[in-house]
Structure 1
Amino acid sequence: MDLHMGSNKGFIIPPVINHGSHDEHATSAARADQPHEGRSRKSGGFAEAERMESRLYMTFSLATNAFAQPLTNYLIKRYNMKQNTATDVANIFSGTSSFSPVVGAFAADALWGRFRTLVFGIVAAFLGMVIVTLSATISHLKPPSCGDVARQAAGECAGPSGIHLAVLYIGMALHVVAAAGFNPTSIPFGADQFDAANDNEGEEAAGLKRYYNWCYAVAMAASFVAFTFVPYVQDKVSWGLSFGIPTALMLVAFAVFLAGTPLYVHVPPEGSIFSSVARVLVASCRKWSLKLPHPRDARQQEAHLYNPPFVAGGNGRVFKLPLTLQLTFFNKAAIIMTDADEIRPDGTPARPWSLCSVQQVEEVKCLVKIIPVWISGLLSFIVSTELTNYTFLQALTMDLHIGSSSKGFTIPPVSIIAVYNLTILLFVPVYDLLIARAAQRVTKVEGGITVLQRQGVGVAISAVALVVAAVFERRRRGSALENGGITSPMSVFLLSPQLAVMGIAVAFNMIGQLEFYNTQFPDQMRTLANAAFYCAQGASNYMATLVVNIVNARTRRHGGGQGWVPNDINAGKLDYFYYAMAVFAVVNLIYFLVCSYFYRYKGWKGSIHGSYGERVSAAVGAGQPHRLYMATAMAFNAFAQPVTNYLIKRYNMKPNTATKVTNIFSGTYSFSPVVGAFVADAFCGRFWTLLFGAVAALVAMVVITLSATISQLKPPSCSDVARQAGTCAGPSSLHRAVLYIGMALLVVATGGYQPTSLPFGADQFDLNTSRRDTSDGNETNGRCHEDNEPAGLKRYYNWYYVINTAAAFVALTFIVYIQDKVSWGLGFAIPTALLLAGLAVFLAGAPLYVYVHPQGSIFSSVARVLVASCRNSSLRLPHPRDARQQVAHLYNPPVVVGGGNGRVFKLPLTLQLSFLNKAAIVTDAENEIKPDGSPARPWRLCSVQQVEETKCLVKIIPVWISGVMWFITLAELTNYTFLQALTMDLHMGKRFIVPPVSIVAIFYLSIVLFVPVYDLLITRAAQRVTKVEGGVTVLQRQGVGVAISAVSLVVAAVTERRRRASVSPPSVFLLAPQLAVMGVSAAFNMIGQMEFYNTQFPDQMRTLANAAFYCAQGASSYLATLVVNIVNARTRRHGGGQGWVVNDINAGRLDNFYYTMAVFAGINFVYFLVCSYFYRYKDEPQEEADSSPVTREAVLVKIG
Structure 2
Amino acid sequence: MNDMEKEGRKLGEDPISAAPEEVSVDWRGRPCKPNKHGGMSAAIFVLGLQAFEMMAIAAVGNNLITYVFNEMHFPLSKSANIVTNFIGTVFFLSLLGGFLSDSYLGSFSTMLICGLVELSGFILLSIQAYLPQLRPPNCNMISDEGHCQEAMGYKSLIFFVALYLVALGSGCLKPNIISHGADQFKRSKKLSTYFNAAYFAFCMGELIALTLLIWVQTHSGMDVGFGASAAVMAIGMISFISGTPRYRNTPPRGSIFTPIAQVFVAAISKRKQICPSNIEMLYGGSQNNVQNRLLSASPNVTNLLHTDKFRLLDKACIKIQDGRKESPWKLCTITQVEQVKILISVIPIFACTIMFNTILAQLQTFSVQQGAAMNTHFTKTLKIPPASLQSIPYIMLIFLVPLYETLFVPTARKITGTESGITPLQRVGVGLFTATFSMVAAAVVEKKRRDNALSGNQTLSIFWIAPQFLIFGLSEMFTAVGLIEFFYSQSLEGMQSFLTAMTYCSYSFGFYLSSILVSLVNRITSSSSRHGGWLGENDLNKDRLDLFYWMLGGLSLVNFSNYLFWSSWYSYNPSLSPSFVSQHESHGEDLENMINTSK
TM-score by length of 2: 0.65
Change (3 A) 1:305 1:111: closer
1:670-724: per-residue Cα shift (whole Å, max 9, x none)? xxxxxxxxxxxxxxxxxxxxxxxxxxxxxxxxxxxxxxxxxxxxxxxxxxxxxxx
Matches within 5 A, 1:984-1023: none
Counterpart for residue 213 of structure 1: none
Matches within 5 A, 1:956-1105: none
Q: CA deviation at 1:97?
A: 1.2
Q: Residue 128 of structure 2 aligns to which amino acid in structure 1?
A: L
Counterpart for residue 326 of structure 1: 309
Establish whether residue 464 from structure 1 lines up as the match of residue 440 from structure 2. Answer: no
Q: CA deviation at 1:92?
A: 2.5
Contact 1:320–1:607 (CA<8 Å) still a contact in 2?
no
Establish whether residue 384 from structure 1 lines up as the match of residue 368 from structure 2. Answer: no
Cα distance in 2 for partners of 1:572, 1:322 equals: 56
Counterpart for residue 206 of structure 2: none
Counterpart for residue 279 of structure 2: 301
Contact 2:273–2:315 (CA<8 Å) still a contact in 1?
yes
Cα distance in 1 for partners of 2:409, 2:577 equals: 33
Cα distance in 1 for partners of 2:114, 2:29 equals: 26
Change (3 A) 1:23 1:553: farther
Q: Which ranges in structure 1 are unaligned for 5 or more consecutive residues? A: 1-21, 37-52, 147-157, 190-225, 255-266, 295-299, 343-349, 616-766, 774-1200
Cα distance in 1 for partners of 2:24, 2:438 equals: 55
Q: CA deviation at 1:329?
A: 1.6
Contact 2:371–2:386 (CA<8 Å) still a contact in 1?
yes
Change (3 A) 1:608 1:414: closer
Establish whether residue 372 from structure 1 lines up as the match of residue 348 from structure 2. Answer: yes
Change (3 A) 1:62 1:474: closer
Counterpart for residue 783 of structure 1: none
Cα distance in 1 for partners of 2:578, 2:227 equals: 57
Counterpart for residue 242 of structure 2: none
Q: Which ranges in structure 2 are unaligned for 5 or more consecutive residues? A: 1-15, 31-45, 141-147, 181-208, 238-249, 592-599
Moved more, 432-441 or 590-599: 432-441
Counterpart for residue 796 of structure 1: none
Q: SS state of the match for residue 317, structure 1?
A: coil
Q: Residue 413 of structure 1 aligns to which amino acid in structure 2?
A: P
Cα distance in 2 for partners of 1:551, 1:238 equals: 38
Q: CA deviation at 1:121?
A: 8.4
1:742-776: per-residue Cα shift (whole Å, max 9, x none)? xxxxxxxxxxxxxxxxxxxxxxxxx7488xx9xxx
Establish whether residue 278 from structure 1 lines up as the match of residue 261 from structure 2. Answer: yes
Counterpart for residue 73 of structure 1: 66
Contact 1:319–1:608 (CA<8 Å) still a contact in 2?
no
Contact 2:24–2:251 (CA<8 Å) still a contact in 1?
no
Change (3 A) 1:242 1:455: closer
Counterpart for residue 95 of structure 2: 102
Cα distance in 2 for partners of 1:116, 1:171 equals: 19
Contact 2:22–2:300 (CA<8 Å) still a contact in 1?
no
Among candidates 579, 587, 595, match of residue 566 of structure 2: 595
Change (3 A) 1:316 1:339: farther
Establish whether residue 401 from structure 1 lines up as the match of residue 377 from structure 2. Answer: yes
Counterpart for residue 953 of structure 1: none
Matches within 5 A, 1:599-610: 599-603=570-574
Q: Residue 476 of structure 1 aligns to which amino acid in structure 2?
A: R
Change (3 A) 1:132 1:401: closer
Counterpart for residue 163 of structure 2: 172
Change (3 A) 1:181 1:540: closer
Contact 1:452–1:512 (CA<8 Å) still a contact in 2?
yes
1:807-834: per-residue Cα shift (whole Å, max 9, x none)? xxxxxxxxxxxxxxxxxxxxxxxxxxxx
Contact 2:352–2:563 (CA<8 Å) still a contact in 1?
yes
Among candidates 389, 409, 433, match of residue 416 of structure 1: 389
Change (3 A) 1:560 1:162: farther
Change (3 A) 1:400 1:165: same
Establish whether residue 521 from structure 1 lines up as the match of residue 491 from structure 2. Answer: yes
Counterpart for residue 355 of structure 1: 331
Q: Residue 572 of structure 1 aligns to which amino acid in structure 2?
A: D
Among candidates 63, 82, 89, match of residue 82 of structure 2: 89
Cα distance in 1 for partners of 2:449, 2:337 equals: 55
Cα distance in 1 for partners of 2:578, 2:406 equals: 32
Establish whether residue 541 from structure 1 lines up as the match of residue 511 from structure 2. Answer: yes
Cα distance in 2 for partners of 1:416, 1:30 equals: 43
Change (3 A) 1:144 1:109: same
Counterpart for residue 128 of structure 2: 134
Q: CA deviation at 1:181?
A: 6.4
Cα distance in 2 for partners of 1:476, 1:30 equals: 57
Contact 1:26–1:313 (CA<8 Å) still a contact in 2?
no
Q: Residue 349 of structure 2 aligns to which amino acid in structure 1?
A: V
Q: SS state of the match for residue 265, structure 2?
A: helix
Q: CA deviation at 1:402?
A: 4.2
Cα distance in 2 for partners of 1:400, 1:233 equals: 20
Contact 1:387–1:466 (CA<8 Å) still a contact in 2?
no
Contact 2:489–2:577 (CA<8 Å) still a contact in 1?
no
Matches within 5 A, 1:831-846: none
Q: SS state of the match for residue 341, structure 1?
A: coil
Q: Residue 92 of structure 1 aligns to which amino acid in structure 2?
A: N
Counterpart for residue 473 of structure 1: 446
Q: Residue 75 of structure 1 aligns to which amino acid in structure 2?
A: V
Cα distance in 1 for partners of 2:110, 2:488 equals: 31
Contact 1:366–1:522 (CA<8 Å) still a contact in 2?
no
1:1114-1172: per-residue Cα shift (whole Å, max 9, x none)? xxxxxxxxxxxxxxxxxxxxxxxxxxxxxxxxxxxxxxxxxxxxxxxxxxxxxxxxxxx
Q: CA deviation at 1:370?
A: 0.8
Q: CA deviation at 1:603?
A: 3.0
Aligned pairs, how many?
A: 499
Q: CA deviation at 1:280?
A: 1.9
Q: CA deviation at 1:278?
A: 2.6
Q: SS state of the match for residue 601, structure 1?
A: coil
Change (3 A) 1:549 1:246: same
Establish whether residue 494 from structure 1 lines up as the match of residue 464 from structure 2. Answer: yes
Moved more, 584-593 or 309-318: 309-318
Q: Residue 513 of structure 2 aligns to which amino acid in structure 1?
A: M
Contact 1:115–1:185 (CA<8 Å) still a contact in 2?
no
Contact 2:266–2:330 (CA<8 Å) still a contact in 1?
yes
Q: Residue 261 of structure 2 aligns to which amino acid in structure 1?
A: A
Matches within 5 A, 1:44-59: none
Identity of aligned residues (%): 25
Change (3 A) 1:483 1:76: farther
Q: CA deviation at 1:564?
A: 2.9
Q: CA deviation at 1:324?
A: 1.6
Change (3 A) 1:31 1:59: closer
Q: CA deviation at 1:279?
A: 2.4
Cα distance in 1 for partners of 2:577, 2:472 equals: 40
Q: CA deviation at 1:95?
A: 2.3
Contact 2:434–2:475 (CA<8 Å) still a contact in 1?
yes
Q: SS state of the match for residue 541, structure 2?
A: helix
Cα distance in 1 for partners of 2:417, 2:174 equals: 43
1:41-75: per-residue Cα shift (whole Å, max 9, x none)? xxxxxxxxxxxx9xx99999998677446323323
Counterpart for residue 428 of structure 2: 455
Cα distance in 1 for partners of 2:130, 2:529 equals: 40
TM-score by length of 1: 0.35
Change (3 A) 1:138 1:109: same
Among candidates 562, 582, 588, match of residue 613 of structure 1: 582
Contact 1:306–1:356 (CA<8 Å) still a contact in 2?
no
Q: Residue 539 of structure 1 aligns to which amino acid in structure 2?
A: F
Q: CA deviation at 1:272?
A: 2.0
Change (3 A) 1:427 1:606: closer
Contact 1:121–1:179 (CA<8 Å) still a contact in 2?
yes
Cα distance in 1 for partners of 2:587, 2:21 equals: 30
Contact 2:65–2:80 (CA<8 Å) still a contact in 1?
yes
Q: SS state of the match for residue 569, structure 1?
A: coil
